[in-house]
A and B are shown apart, each in its own frame.
Chain A
Amino acid sequence: MSYVYYPGCSLTGTARECEESIQSVMRFLGVKWTELEDWNCCGAAVATGVSYLLSLALPARNLALSEKTEADLVTGCSRCYLNLIRAQHYIQHNANLKRDVNAVLAEAGIQYAGTARLRHLLDVIINDVGLDTVAEKVTQPLSGLQVAAYYGCCQGMWTYAQFDSTEDPTCFDRLLAALGAEVVYYPLKQACCGGTLSMSKRAVGAPLIGDLLLAAIAVEADCIVTACPLCTFNLNSFQNEAGRAKGTKFNMPVLFVTQLMGLAFGLPPKTLGLHRNVVPPDPVYRKIAAGAAASSAEAVASGTK
């Protein structure tokens, strides 16, 4: 299986910590990929407002570039994934649209044929690398760490439809369980974090973030684990605003999925970008250390090594 990696703007900007952990963990898992050459912004949430055709042409260009490599196009960003698969889907089902998009791409001297194979990072980890391999590579089991797996909403619509259930996805839970973590029942696992409303309309966005944090506290989670850079950014960066909206103070660590994987694999926190997290993940470290101490004490007590 060969891959070409499309980081997208978030992962190279505000979500650098996610990107660093993705690279470290995938290297550790032995997944080789090259970065998609000359990639462009997928249009994020704003291109649709500017021009419908632009909102499809931007991701289509990335798809077209990946076709030349004949490798699977992997992205770790939910919004990038959504835009790419949306473009792929619409263009595939509408010949006129394909003609129009290709007319735009022709200006840049490329064409989208429709053969690109789009993959989500989680899909590659769970289905190509496999949960068994992931479990085998764990050197620092997360036993005793209670995690809330937050799937997010953009993903619920499209990503999970490709390899899991949209109604009730469980792949993320299974992945975290393979790391030895205790996955708690998280009632808002598919609720919306507000997306860009946290910036553009905070009065609406902040309470949504607050609800997610309150729910995690209510189910006694030690941290929230995310699979989307924007969710990670929102949940980390706006805890003060969310706290004001809900009349409380939050200090809930929020980790991107590969950050937690890296910890379970025993990788140094710095290589996982954990030093960049707005909410310091120290309680998570302490919990992991306590879990390790408890299990080694147990091992000693039972006389085994």
Chain B
Amino acid sequence: MAESKNDVRIGVYVCHCGSNIAGTVDVDDLTSFAQQQGSVAVARNYKFMCSEPGQALIKKDIEELGLNRVVVASCSPRMHEPTFRRVCEDANLNPYQLDMCNIREQCSWVHKSGATGKAKALVSAAISRAYYLQPLERREVLVTPAVLVVGGGIAGIQAALKVAEAGHKVYLVEREPSIGGHMIQLDKTFPTLDCSACILTPKMAAVKAHPDIELMTYSEVVDVQGYVGNFRVTIRRKPRYVDESLCTGCGICQEKCPWKADSEFDCGLGQRKAIYTPFPQAVPNVPVIDPEHCVYIQKEGKCGACLKFCERGAIDFTQKEKMVDVEVGAIIVATGYDLMDPSAISRLGYKRFPNVITSMEFERLCNATGPTGGHITIDGKEPKSVAIIHCVGSRDEKYHTYCSRVCCMYALKFAHLIGEKIEGAQVYQFYIDMRCYGKGFEEFYQRASSEAVNFVRGRPAQVTDFAMTPEEKGKLVVVCENTLVGRPVRVPVDMVILCPAMEPRADAKEVARRFNLSQSADGFLLEKHAKLDPVATANDGVFIVGCVQGPKDIPDTVAQGLAGAAEALALIEKGRVELEAATAFVNEAACSGCKICVSLCPYSAITFSETEKLSHINEALCKGCGVCVAACPAGAIVGRHFTDQQILAEVAALLVDTRPATVAV
């Protein structure tokens, strides 16, 4: 721009990264190559450029040599771009005058020979781009000091409580009539065998009691607008037909209601009324009316037993669906998992044989509040032998290649509980590997192994009622290869428990779209970094915790809930959030008004003005992804920090052959 050619002074810093780069790239050769490039005032190399002395080196050069561009040839910008941007800022150089040149991940790490030549090409390209870099201004906006937590399982409960404890407003949205999630359905929890409800209900009650938590059950998030620090969220509140402010939870309505349906909470093993709370400790303790089974709703006014008996007059059939808007600074998505329906694997006989059940069904059978009052019986009969089949749909290329991580442990727990409740019961574990990796898990494995359990290593081929011997008559037969013995076995049992895979929610794709998140190949939502940023996502200000990110046990889920709270609190407590400066803008004179960019923007940052016939980019929403820049047929959109001029200069430099010229004879 106003700068003349002689004013550009570039400093190039080549990092050895110990032997990570210097092991394959000749850093001295690379440095002298860089030194010879136009506008390069200085080129140096150093063992660890990201170390304090390395940073000091750059800072000193900027100040003393008057550098106005910096190229750091080291690792991926993902790792250290923030570090070197800060160095520039400390030396009063605009941080956007820095270009990171990655000569590690795609260069030194992947080439045995020729890495130096490639590094030269990359550095040359970075220098050419750096020449055209422009200073950019970062802006800050205020953060709304409230958090939305989506999903009221243990992950969401833990996150909500922690944020509220810090004194901030929390909106906790739950799709079901009560919070509690899958955990409240469980009987005992491994490896300590404490009762799941006993440890969870105090937390549920605390959610209800906390003045800073606004609990919205039977509700769903339908729309999310805005950006980090300033989200506007629309929540649909389904009609409960019961006024929460009037209901005392006395339960008379449920007692008097004459209509029944299968209980979702008891996995269809028991029944509930048409007006119901899913379980006795439900929070809130306010029933809902299931319109599909309520005869008053279905047959327009017939019945009305609940209306007659409710002394508080809390039943309200005039309730309509309501939309509520809330404003929050951060969002924690804790929508959990679905248990796979094992009837897809028809050879295991689920839904064909009533005594083939899922692990969750067994939890309900075992539980004192369950349909059998805690007696392990099917159709009134107590099994004397039980087969537990691990890895149903997990670790199976046809269904889910991943391991669901909790099944080995709860299968051991089941064996222990069966032994406790049914004297002399024979339990068979059909496993592939026993994966008992957590704290106290191995000890639990040893304990359970010393009890009367038979371990059969192998993946069962079939569960059949076809008897081949008199002993098999009237039994379910598990057909399997015992891979330790190398022989097929047929094990007749009275009950089969399947351990189905934990899978992404059926609507995980929709949830991902709603919160602008990505899914990993297995369908679970994708975190920002598998190891170092496990709850953050590609969408700033939106965090994922618990099984929405992948199968987890309770301790891991709780830890993630707390991590999500910490992330949200860090954002809110700071009060301000910096917006991306490398955004796109529309050159209005060139915009033809074709609207192609509007539909392509993944962040809904582009609006179209019908009066001006022009596209406008909301820079607060723009993440600088460049989709619109590339797509604009008129070339009217400019991506700051990635202008055509910068990119073309980079490409041109990349394509120059940096190898020594061969002499023609």
Q: Assess whether B465 is interfacial by the CB under 8 Å rule.
A: yes
Within 8 A of A (CB), among B334-375: 344-347
Binary flags per residue of A209-231, CB closer than 8 Å to B gives 1, else 0: 00100110010000000000000
* Given contacts A167-B346, A168-B346, A188 and B466 within 8 Å (CB-CB): yes
- Chain A residues within an 8 Å CB radius of B344: 167
Q: Does B347 lie within 8 Å of A187, measured CB to CB?
A: no
> Binding site of A, secondary structure by majority: helix, strand, loop or mixed?
loop
Give Cα distance in the complex from A215 to B465, angstroms: 11
Across the interface, name the chain B residue whose C-beta is closest to A210: B468
Give Cα distance in the complex from A190 to B346, angstroms: 12
Q: Does B345 lie within 8 Å of A167, measured CB to CB?
A: yes
Q: Does B398 lie within 8 Å of A211, measured CB to CB?
A: no
Q: Does B464 lie within 8 Å of A187, measured CB to CB?
A: yes
- Chain A residues within an 8 Å CB radius of B464: 187
Give Cα distance in the complex from A211 to B344, angstroms: 26
Q: Does A218 lie within 8 Å of B347, measured CB to CB?
A: no
* B400 shortest CB reach to chain A, Å: 15
Give Cα distance in the complex from A119 to B466, angstroms: 33
- Chain A residues within an 8 Å CB radius of B345: 167
- Chain B residues within an 8 Å CB radius of A214: 468
Q: Does B468 lie within 8 Å of A168, measured CB to CB?
A: no
Give Cα distance in the complex from A20 to B346, angstroms: 35
Binary flags per residue of A200-214, CB closer than 8 Å to B gives 1, else 0: 000000000001001
A167 touches which of B398, B466, B467 (Cβ 8 Å): B398
Q: Does A218 lie within 8 Å of B466, measured CB to CB?
A: yes
- Chain B residues within an 8 Å CB radius of A168: 346-347
Give Cα distance in the complex from A187 to B465, angstroms: 8
Q: Does B398 lie within 8 Å of A215, measured CB to CB?
A: no
- Chain A residues within an 8 Å CB radius of B466: 187-188, 215, 218
Binary flags per residue of B458-499, CB closer than 8 Å to A gives 1, else 0: 000000111110000000000000000000000000000000
Across the interface, name the chain A residue whose C-beta is closest to B465: A187
Within 8 A of A (CB), among B304-345: 344-345
Across the interface, name the chain B residue whose C-beta is closest to A186: B466
Q: Does B468 lie within 8 Å of A167, measured CB to CB?
A: no
Binary flags per residue of A152-172, CB closer than 8 Å to B gives 1, else 0: 000000000000000110000
Q: How many of chain A's residues have a CB under 8 angstroms from any CB in B?
A: 9
Give Cα distance in the complex from A24 to B452, angstroms: 61
> Binding site of B, secondary structure by majority: helix, strand, loop or mixed?
loop
* A69 shortest CB reach to chain B, Å: 35
- Chain B residues within an 8 Å CB radius of A187: 464-466
Give Cα distance in the complex from A268 to B456, angstroms: 53
Q: Does A167 lie within 8 Å of B465, measured CB to CB?
A: no
* B463 shortest CB reach to chain A, Å: 10
Binary flags per residue of A166-195, CB closer than 8 Å to B gives 1, else 0: 011000000000000000000110100000
Give Cα distance in the complex from A233 to B345, angstroms: 31
- Chain A residues within an 8 Å CB radius of B346: 167-168
Across the interface, name the chain A residue whose C-beta is closest to B467: A218
- Chain B residues within an 8 Å CB radius of A218: 466-467
* B462 shortest CB reach to chain A, Å: 8
* A173 shortest CB reach to chain B, Å: 13
Most chain B beta-carbon neighbours within 10 Å: one of A167, A188, A190: A167
- Chain B residues within an 8 Å CB radius of A215: 466
Give Cα distance in the complex from A168 to B351, angstroms: 14
Give Cα distance in the complex from A168 to B465, angstroms: 16
Q: Does A211 lie within 8 Å of B468, measured CB to CB?
A: yes
Give Cα distance in the complex from A168 to B467, angstroms: 20
- Chain A residues within an 8 Å CB radius of B468: 211, 214
Give Cα distance in the complex from A167 to B345, angstroms: 7
* B501 shortest CB reach to chain A, Å: 15
Across the interface, name the chain A residue whose C-beta is closest to B468: A211
- Chain B residues within an 8 Å CB radius of A211: 468
Binary flags per residue of A78-111, CB closer than 8 Å to B gives 1, else 0: 0000000000000000000000000000000000
Give Cα distance in the complex from A146 to B340, angstroms: 35
* A156 shortest CB reach to chain B, Å: 10
Binary flags per residue of B373-395, CB closer than 8 Å to A gives 1, else 0: 00000000000000000000000
Binary flags per residue of B396-418, CB closer than 8 Å to A gives 1, else 0: 00100000000000000000000
* B389 shortest CB reach to chain A, Å: 15
Across the interface, name the chain B residue whose C-beta is closest to A214: B468
- Chain A residues within an 8 Å CB radius of B467: 218
Within 8 A of A (CB), among B266-301: none
- Chain A residues within an 8 Å CB radius of B347: 167-168, 190
Give Cα distance in the complex from A187 to B467, angstroms: 10
Give Cα distance in the complex from A167 to B398, angstroms: 10
Give Cα distance in the complex from A190 to B462, angstroms: 10
- Chain B residues within an 8 Å CB radius of A167: 344-347, 398
Across the interface, name the chain A residue whose C-beta is closest to B399: A167
* A185 shortest CB reach to chain B, Å: 9
Across the interface, name the chain A residue whose C-beta is closest to B398: A167
Binary flags per residue of B102-120, CB closer than 8 Å to A gives 1, else 0: 0000000000000000000
Across the interface, name the chain B residue whose C-beta is closest to A166: B398
Give Cα distance in the complex from A101 to B537, angstroms: 50
Give Cα distance in the complex from A7 to B465, angstroms: 38
* A167 shortest CB reach to chain B, Å: 6
Give Cα distance in the complex from A168 to B464, angstroms: 13
Across the interface, name the chain B residue whose C-beta is closest to A215: B466
Give Cα distance in the complex from A107 to B398, angstroms: 40
Most chain B beta-carbon neighbours within 10 Å: one of A168, A187, A214, A215: A187
Give Cα distance in the complex from A211 to B490, angstroms: 13
Give Cα distance in the complex from A81 to B465, angstroms: 32
Give Cα distance in the complex from A188 to B462, angstroms: 10
Give Cα distance in the complex from A304 to B468, angstroms: 47
Give Cα distance in the complex from A218 to B465, angstroms: 11
Most chain A beta-carbon neighbours within 10 Å: one of B346, B467, B468: B468
Give Cα distance in the complex from A168 to B462, angstroms: 11
Give Cα distance in the complex from A6 to B467, angstroms: 39
- Chain A residues within an 8 Å CB radius of B465: 187
Across the interface, name the chain B residue whose C-beta is closest to A188: B466
* B486 shortest CB reach to chain A, Å: 15
Give Cα distance in the complex from A190 to B466, angstroms: 13
Give Cα distance in the complex from A218 to B469, angstroms: 12
* A96 shortest CB reach to chain B, Å: 24
- Chain B residues within an 8 Å CB radius of A190: 347
* B461 shortest CB reach to chain A, Å: 9
Within 8 A of A (CB), among B419-467: 464-467
* B347 shortest CB reach to chain A, Å: 6
Give Cα distance in the complex from A187 to B345, angstroms: 15
Give Cα distance in the complex from A187 to B347, angstroms: 9
Give Cα distance in the complex from A173 to B527, angstroms: 46
- Chain A residues within an 8 Å CB radius of B398: 167
Give Cα distance in the complex from A226 to B408, angstroms: 40
Within 8 A of B (CB), among A89-142: none
Give Cα distance in the complex from A211 to B464, angstroms: 14
* A263 shortest CB reach to chain B, Å: 28
* B471 shortest CB reach to chain A, Å: 15
Across the interface, name the chain B residue whose C-beta is closest to A187: B466
Binary flags per residue of B608-625, CB closer than 8 Å to A gives 1, else 0: 000000000000000000
- Chain B residues within an 8 Å CB radius of A188: 466
Give Cα distance in the complex from A187 to B479, angstroms: 12
Give Cα distance in the complex from A190 to B344, angstroms: 17
Give Cα distance in the complex from A137 to B20, angstroms: 74
Across the interface, name the chain A residue whose C-beta is closest to B352: A185
* A23 shortest CB reach to chain B, Å: 35
* B200 shortest CB reach to chain A, Å: 37
| Apart from the given pairs A167-B346, A168-B346, A187-B466, 14 other A-B contacts in the complex at a CB distance below 8 Å | A167-B344, A167-B345, A167-B347, A167-B398, A168-B347, A187-B464, A187-B465, A188-B466, A190-B347, A211-B468, A214-B468, A215-B466, A218-B466, A218-B467
> Lowest 8 A-B CB distances belong to which pairs?
A187-B466, A168-B346, A187-B464, A215-B466, A167-B347, A167-B346, A167-B345, A211-B468
Could you list 14 examples of A-B contacts with CB < 8 Å? A167-B345, A167-B346, A167-B347, A167-B398, A168-B346, A168-B347, A187-B464, A188-B466, A190-B347, A211-B468, A214-B468, A215-B466, A218-B466, A218-B467
